C-alpha cells in the first residue's frame, strides 16, 4: 500500500512542480528517450543476471505491494502455536506431534497461526527441522549449525535480487546521459534548421538526463531498498523460529522457549512479556 502511495507522491510531485513552473507536459513525452534508457536498463539486467536470478526478481516484485511486516498479534499466534505443539510433545512424546509436522496444513495446532501457514519459507524451515528431531537424537549445537546454514543460504540466495536492482538504479543516471548525448548528436546534425528546431532537440536530449535521474533515485533504488528490507524481515523471522526450537531442544520448557524467541522480535512488533504470557495461558 505504502509503495503505491510513494510512487504516486514521487510522480505527482515532479509533474505538479513542472506544471507550476510553467512547463508543458508534452515536452516530457519523448518516446525515443524512454526506449534508449528503458531498453538499455533491461538489457543490462539480462547481461548481469542468470535465468534463476531473473525469475527471483520477477517473483519478488509483487511482494512490494503486499504487507511483509508482521503484526504483534501474528507473532503471538505463531509463538502460541509452537508452544502448544511442544507441550503436546512433552505430555505425549515426540511421535505424537509427527502428524502435525508431516501435514501442517491439516494440523489443528499449527493452522491457528495464519502467518506460519501462509509463509512457505517459515513453514518448511520449522517442519524440516522438526523432522530431523523426530528422526533421531541430534545434539543442540549440530541442530543450531544446520539451522544457521539454512538461514545463511536463504539470505545469500535472495540478497542478489535487491543488489541487482540497486546496481541498475545506480546505472540509470549514466544511461540518461547516454540518451542525452544521442540527443545532442541529433541536435548538432540539425543546427542549420534554425533556433526553434535546435531548442526542441536540446529539450528532448535533456529529458533523457531527467528521466535517468528520476527513475534511479525516485523509483528503482527505493524499490531495491524495499526488497532488501523484505529479505531482512524474513531472515529475522527464521531466527525467531530457530531460537524457539533451540531453546526447547536445550531442555527449556515451552514457555521459556517462547520468551527467548519473543526477545528476538523487532521492538516495533514485539509483544510484551505479559501479552505473551496471557496468550499462552489462554487469558485475554
What does the alpha-carbon distance between residue 62 and residue 276 come to, in Å, rounded to a whole number?
32
What does the alpha-carbon distance between residue 96 and residue 20 come to, in Å, rounded to a whole number?
70
Q: Does 168 reside within a domain? A: yes
Q: Does 147 reside within a domain? A: yes
The per-residue pLDDT string of the chain (284 residues; one tens digit each, 9 = 90 and over) reads 788 899 999 999 999 998 998 888 888 888 888 899 999 999 999 999 999 999 999 999 888 887 667 789 999 999 999 999 999 988 888 888 999 999 999 999 999 999 999 999 999 999 999 999 888 778 889 999 999 999 999 999 999 999 999 999 999 999 999 988 888 888 887 777 777 777 777 888 888 899 999 999 999 999 999 999 999 999 999 999 999 999 999 989 999 999 999 999 999 899 999 999 999 887 65
Torsion of CA 53, 55, 60, 62, to 10 degrees: 150
What does the alpha-carbon distance between residue 73 and residue 12 come to, in Å, rounded to a whole number?
36
Residues spanned by the domain of 216: 2-51+70-280
Q: Does 65 reside within a domain? A: no
Q: Does 64 reside within a domain? A: no
Q: Does 93 reside within a domain? A: yes
Q: What is the pLDDT of residue 283?
A: 67
Q: Does 104 reside within a domain? A: yes
Total domains in the fold of the chain: 1
What does the alpha-carbon distance between residue 215 and residue 227 come to, in Å, rounded to a whole number?
17
Q: Does 251 reside within a domain? A: yes
Q: What is the pLDDT of residue 68?
A: 65
What does the alpha-carbon distance between residue 280 and residue 284 come to, in Å, rounded to a whole number?
10
Q: Does 90 reside within a domain? A: yes
What does the alpha-carbon distance between residue 12 and residue 8 come to, in Å, rounded to a whole number?
6
Place of cell 531466527: 239
Amino acid at each position: 500500500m505504502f509503495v503505491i502511495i510513494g510512487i504516486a507522491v514521487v510522480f505527482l510531485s515532479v509533474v505538479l512542480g513542472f506544471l507550476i513552473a510553467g512547463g508543458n507536459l508534452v515536452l516530457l513525452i519523448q518516446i525515443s528517450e524512454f526506449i534508449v534508457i528503458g531498453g538499455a536498463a533491461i538489457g543490462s539486467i539480462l547481461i548481469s543476471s542468470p535465468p534463476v536470478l531473473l525469475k527471483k526478481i520477477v517473483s519478488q516484485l509483487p511482494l512490494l505491494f503486499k504487507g511483509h511486516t508482521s503484526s504483534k498479534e501474528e507473532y503471538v499466534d505463531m509463538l502460541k502455536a509452537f508452544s502448544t505443539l511442544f507441550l503436546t510433545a512433552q505430555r505425549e512424546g515426540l511421535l505424537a506431534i509427527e502428524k502435525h509436522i508431516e501435514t501442517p496444513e491439516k494440523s489443528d495446532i499449527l493452522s491457528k497461526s495464519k502467518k506460519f501457514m501462509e509463509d512457505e519459507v517459515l513453514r518448511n524451515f520449522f517442519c524440516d527441522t522438526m523432522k530431523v528431531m523426530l528422526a533421531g537424537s541430534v545434539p543442540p549445537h549440530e541442530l543450531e549449525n544446520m539451522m544457521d546454514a539454512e538461514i545463511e543460504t536463504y539470505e545469500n540466495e535472495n540478497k542478489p535480487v535487491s543488489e541487482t536492482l540497486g546496481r541498475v538504479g545506480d546505472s540509470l543516471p549514466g544511461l540518461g546521459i547516454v540518451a542525452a548525448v544521442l540527443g545532442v548528436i541529433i541536435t548538432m546534425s540539425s543546427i542549420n534548421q534554425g533556433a526553434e528546431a535546435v531548442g526542441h532537440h536540446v529539450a528532448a536530449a535533456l529529458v533523457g538526463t531527467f528521466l535517468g535521474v528520476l527513475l534511479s533515485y525516485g523509483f528503482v533504488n527505493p524499490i531495491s531498498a524495499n526488497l532488501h528490507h523484505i529479505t531482512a524481515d524474513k531472515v529475522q523471522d527464521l531466527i525467531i523460529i530457530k531460537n524457539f526450537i533451540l531453546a526447547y531442544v536445550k531442555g527449556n520448557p515451552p514457555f521459556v522457549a517462547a520468551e527467548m524467541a519473543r526477545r528476538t522480535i523487532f521492538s516495533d512488533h514485539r509483544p510484551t512479556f505479559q501479552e505473551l504470557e496471557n496468550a499462552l495461558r489462554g487469558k485475554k
